[in-house]
Structure 1
Amino acid sequence: MPKPAGMFDRDREWSMLVKFAADEQPGATLGVVSGRRRQGKSFLLESLCQELGGFYFSAQEATDAESLAAIGAALTRHLDPVVPFAPASWSTVVDVLLRIGRDRPVPVVIDEFPYLARSNPALPSIIQGAYAPRRMERTESRARLLLCGSAMSFMGGLLSGNAPLRGRASLDLPVDTLDYRLAARFWGLTDPRLALLVHAVVGGTPAYRTEMIRYDAPRVLDDFDDWVIRAILSPGSPMFLEARYLLAEEPDLRDSALYHSVLGAIAEGNSGRGGIAGYVGRKSNELSHPLTVLEDAGLITREIDAFRGNRTDFRIREPLLTFYHAMMRPFWPQLMRANATDRIWQRAKHRFIGNVVGPHFERICRDWTLHFAEDRFGDWPVQVTAGTVNDPANRTTHEVDVVAVGHADAGRPPLLAIGEVKWGETMGTGHLDRLRRIRDLVNRNDKYDTSQMRLVCFSGSGFSEDLVRLSGQGEVDLVGLDDLYA
């Protein structure tokens, strides 16, 4: 079934939904669709129901009784019974939903399912009971029930551990943000430098361009500053408060001040647990819960150091959160005065390069190495992260921005490449010398097979003639912005 007109990308998600909804096998099935708000989940599911004649219901924050009445009214409109349907319980509702699929496979969607479960925590158990293996209402139905939600911590636990619906779902589909290459196409940006700068601010959330900024994109690189001021930093823009709303949408993030402080610590470059604790003013062991909640909500991710397995670094996944905590939160009172926005941006622009673009460029380089470099470094990498290498002779440590590790069929995993990333400076032989020193130190480590390891320089500002010459001799791989977006 072809995608509906106007749907950008989402080929994999659409294909999986159509395959699930049109499955001719007997017996009702259950699927779960999750993802943060504004990724296009509802558009996907509404389109699916329109194409296949299914039932779509979007829940709202309401009492249990009001939600029952609302879904009863929606079912009345869809089924057009002689008498309006006024359900007294969710068990009755679920049975009616299953009956929709008595004659043919049909999608049945409950969007924003966490709202219903918050008002009635027994609802997952009720669905579990309705999907009992030998229950007639299930075996004689081909309803394809899809539960969708944006509360990532809730949706992540819906099918895990001892949850009632664990083992009941035949589809678990996350709808993630667009990757940086797709985001550039979606925004219509052909200049790699401009595309990366825009992605460092708004990431790959589709609705930021369509619904919130209303297709206002910077036309050329010289328009970028004005675009940030008018589209992001202006108090009249819907994007002005968006970063705050991202946290407010997660029901498990109750102490918003603590979570904003944790995100602020990471945005300031404190990626380790100890650094975050010192910034927040808490003990390290007191941060386990907030860090776990932020990770479950999809707002941060944890990375294991490639060379020191006992060290974990935390990174913010949503670029807009990094931009907010680095550029907006420190100047919030001044930003509320609209006539000061231009001056604040010019005054704090160095923070944008150092705290936002630099770390974001490192992340993009790791993403490229994992997803788009393929076998450029001899094999497909299965893990790409950062690392820290001890240098006892010089009593220091070296931070390695990109560490690509391949798959080991037996023995030690191969270390495919180590890389240095620089956004704002032309890379030269000095950067290569540093990588050579790190290579010597890594060769003494028995953790990896380093026999085929490549040295890589990633730059957003180009390479010196000497480094280009050495690259031609095979001593180093050079990766620029054009490579990242090719």
Structure 2
Amino acid sequence: MERQKKTQSQSHPAKPHDVVDRNREWALLGDFITDPSPAMQLAIVSGRRRHGKSYLLQALCESVGGLYITAIREEGRLLALQRFSEAIAAHAGLRPGTLDLADWREVLTNALDVTARRAETPLLIIDELPYLLQHSPELPGLIQQLFDEHQRGEGTGARIILCGSAMSVMHELLSGTKPLRGRAVIDLRLGAFDYRTSRDFWQIEDPVTALHVHAVLGGAPGYRLLTGPASPDDGFDTWVANTLLNPGRAIYSRTETEYLLREDPRITQHTLYYDILTAIARGATTPTKIGAALGRQRNAVAHPLDILESTGYIHREQDLLRPRHPVITLADPVIRFNQLITLPQAAAVEQGFAEQVWKASTPTFNSRILGPHFETLARTWTLQHAHAILPDGLPGPVGTTEVPDPGARTKHEVDVIALAFGERPQSPRARIALLGEAKATAARRGMGDLQRLESIRDLLTEQGYDTSGVTLALFSLYGFHADVAELARERRDLLLVDLETLYGV
């Protein structure tokens, strides 16, 4: 009872200043470790490499005096037991060599006892758990046993966080009949920074440069340290040649993609996965088209595509209005840059011709990387920020669609569509909140773009959808012609989103 009263008075640990953003994640984990329940509790944290999981968890651990131990990829069982034993001894203030724990149950029980004696909140964090599972698959079962033994408040009230970068392995911990299913109160999947936070994190002044950097590196904070002291604001083209296309730097993406793929133990045929990623980057958007690009049957790429989706490397986007095959795209800008720019010209890059390679790659960058990325950010802005402008506030699902035009015997691709709040995708007669066109070309957007959206709106009305409250949105990288800008000041249903609006500056 005394321990419970003491724990109830405990407040959240303050987030350190060097932990950028992650306010919701910090609050969630703060609730977890300060929960007054005397029973043991378990949390799972997963996320792609370079997303800052370890940085966040180390800061959390230090804030409450917990024990943080990370596994090592190539370390065997015996060495892992010895290293964990040394870490526990050091945390307890014992001399090196004092502890020589023989199995993982002893490691876990000693770790929990030590944390309970050293801190008000007993916190144990095991990072990169999948490395341990390669030689010690019994660990989840042992954690389950300890968890069940501590549920009646007879234990230390410990909090355990298991973390890992192998997304499929971490997700399977809580699936099916796995030992830890139903025992974790948190299953936190840490994503990359969004595009606005990334700009702040990189301290980039120019929004155009911020967009370009995000198009090639995404929002993974771990890449900033790998690029060196040069700033993209000093010249994006020079910066790319000196960083992403510099074989002497660790961020050189030819090796980075291989490094990322090796995180998942199920990915063994690296050549096949490289080829699949390349086919998608070049525009193959269905399993059939991807298989054809590789000279394989559709069924031969189905399983690899499932794995790539589960690890977050590809994304299947459903049409918001009609049931049809989902469109497959690359979700990781680093891999997209690698497959389209670095790999095709690797020989020239490694001979020192980075500037020439980058100049020759400009058309590919603009059409295959910058254009699609700008469309993605337009959808992200609609989902996260448009509620402050739209007449009805918060929109519903946001995505893309393809609108048939029987009269013209064609189809119109819509870059951005948002259903009204409460509507479900692919519902007949759904209310549509926004239709948008996003173009990253150097040309300003004008009346022709607006007329195209108006035509699509009219087609959807004829097809039974409710467009009475729809907003027509034009997204432009380089602004708008004066006539459409003037019209936007008069029409409440017309929204112009330039790069400053996109970035909130």
Residue 194 of structure 1: how far off its partner (Å) = 1.0
Alignment: residue pair count: 480
Asked if 1 retains the 8 angstrom alpha-carbon contact of 2:400 and 2:416, the reply is yes
What are the superposed Cα offsets for residues 262-294 of structure 1, whole Å, 9 maximum, x if unpaired? 211221122233332222222223322111111
User: After superposition, where does 1:108-147 map in structure 2 within 5 Å?
Assistant: 108-132=124-148, 139-147=154-162
Asked if 1 retains the 8 angstrom alpha-carbon contact of 2:414 and 2:436, the reply is yes
Superposed CA RMSD in Å reads 2.0
Asked if 1 retains the 8 angstrom alpha-carbon contact of 2:122 and 2:157, the reply is yes
What are the superposed Cα offsets for residues 371-421 of structure 1, whole Å, 9 maximum, x if unpaired? 111152323123111111111211111111001112237995421011111
> Given the alignment of the two structures, is residue 171 of structure 1 paired with residue 186 of structure 2, yes or no?
yes
User: After superposition, where does 1:228-377 map in structure 2 within 5 Å?
Assistant: 228-240=240-252, 241-338=255-352, 340-377=353-390
Q: In terms of mean alpha carbon deviation, does 469-478 or 174-183 score higher?
A: 469-478
Q: In terms of mean alpha carbon deviation, does 401-410 or 296-305 score higher?
A: 401-410
- How far apart are the structure 2 equivalents of 1:409 and 1:256? 41
- How far apart are the structure 1 equivalents of 2:69 and 2:348? 43
Stretches of structure 2 that go unaligned for 5 or more consecutive residues are 1-12
Residue 467 of structure 1: how far off its partner (Å) = 1.5
Determine the structure 2 residue equivalent to 1:26: 38
Asked if 1 retains the 8 angstrom alpha-carbon contact of 2:473 and 2:497, the reply is yes
Aligned residue for 2:412, secondary structure, equals strand
Letter in 2 for 1:47: A
Aligned residue for 1:374, secondary structure, equals helix
> Given the alignment of the two structures, is residue 455 of structure 1 paired with residue 472 of structure 2, yes or no?
yes
Determine the structure 2 residue equivalent to 1:40: 52
Structure 1 residues 432 and 39, CA gap change in structure 2 (3 angstroms): same
- How far apart are the structure 2 equivalents of 1:277 and 1:390? 27
Determine the structure 1 residue equivalent to 2:439: 422
Asked if 2 retains the 8 angstrom alpha-carbon contact of 1:273 and 1:312, the reply is no
Determine the structure 1 residue equivalent to 2:403: 389
Output the TM-score relative to the length of structure 2. Answer: 0.90
Q: Alignment partner for residue 89 of structure 1, among 99, 103, 109?
A: 103
User: After superposition, where does 1:408-447 map in structure 2 within 5 Å?
Assistant: 408=422, 413-424=430-441, 425-446=443-464
Asked if 2 retains the 8 angstrom alpha-carbon contact of 1:33 and 1:175, the reply is yes
Residue 102 of structure 1: how far off its partner (Å) = 4.3
> Given the alignment of the two structures, is residue 159 of structure 1 paired with residue 177 of structure 2, yes or no?
no
What are the superposed Cα offsets for residues 162-196 of structure 1, whole Å, 9 maximum, x if unpaired? 22211111122222111000000111112111110
Stretches of structure 1 that go unaligned for 5 or more consecutive residues are none
Residue 81 of structure 1: how far off its partner (Å) = 5.3
- How far apart are the structure 2 equivalents of 1:64 and 1:214? 36
Aligned residue for 2:290, secondary structure, equals helix
Asked if 1 retains the 8 angstrom alpha-carbon contact of 2:91 and 2:114, the reply is no
- How far apart are the structure 2 equivalents of 1:459 and 1:471? 14
Residue 65 of structure 1: how far off its partner (Å) = 2.0
- How far apart are the structure 2 equivalents of 1:91 and 1:28? 16
- How far apart are the structure 2 equivalents of 1:282 and 1:473? 55
Determine the structure 1 residue equivalent to 2:165: 150
Residue 485 of structure 1: how far off its partner (Å) = 0.5
- How far apart are the structure 2 equivalents of 1:383 and 1:399? 17
Asked if 2 retains the 8 angstrom alpha-carbon contact of 1:379 and 1:416, the reply is no
Residue 26 of structure 1: how far off its partner (Å) = 0.4
- How far apart are the structure 2 equivalents of 1:101 and 1:406? 50
Asked if 2 retains the 8 angstrom alpha-carbon contact of 1:416 and 1:453, the reply is yes
Identity over the aligned pairs, expressed in percent?
Answer: 38
Determine the structure 1 residue equivalent to 2:214: 199
Output the TM-score relative to the length of structure 1. Answer: 0.94
Structure 1 runs, 4 residues or longer, greater than 3 Å off: 80-83, 100-104, 133-136, 409-413
Letter in 1 for 2:180: L
What are the superposed Cα offsets for residues 24-60 of structure 1, whole Å, 9 maximum, x if unpaired? 3201111111111122211222222222111111111
Structure 1 residues 8 and 309, CA gap change in structure 2 (3 angstroms): same
Q: Alignment partner for residue 225 of structure 1, among 228, 237, 240?
A: 237
Asked if 2 retains the 8 angstrom alpha-carbon contact of 1:379 and 1:406, the reply is no
> Given the alignment of the two structures, is residue 58 of structure 1 paired with residue 70 of structure 2, yes or no?
yes
What are the superposed Cα offsets for residues 225-278 of structure 1, whole Å, 9 maximum, x if unpaired? 100000110111111122332112222211111211221122112223333222
- How far apart are the structure 2 equivalents of 1:189 and 1:154? 36
What are the superposed Cα offsets for residues 83-133 of structure 1, whole Å, 9 maximum, x if unpaired? 822222212222223323545422111111111111112211121122115
Residue 18 of structure 1: how far off its partner (Å) = 2.3
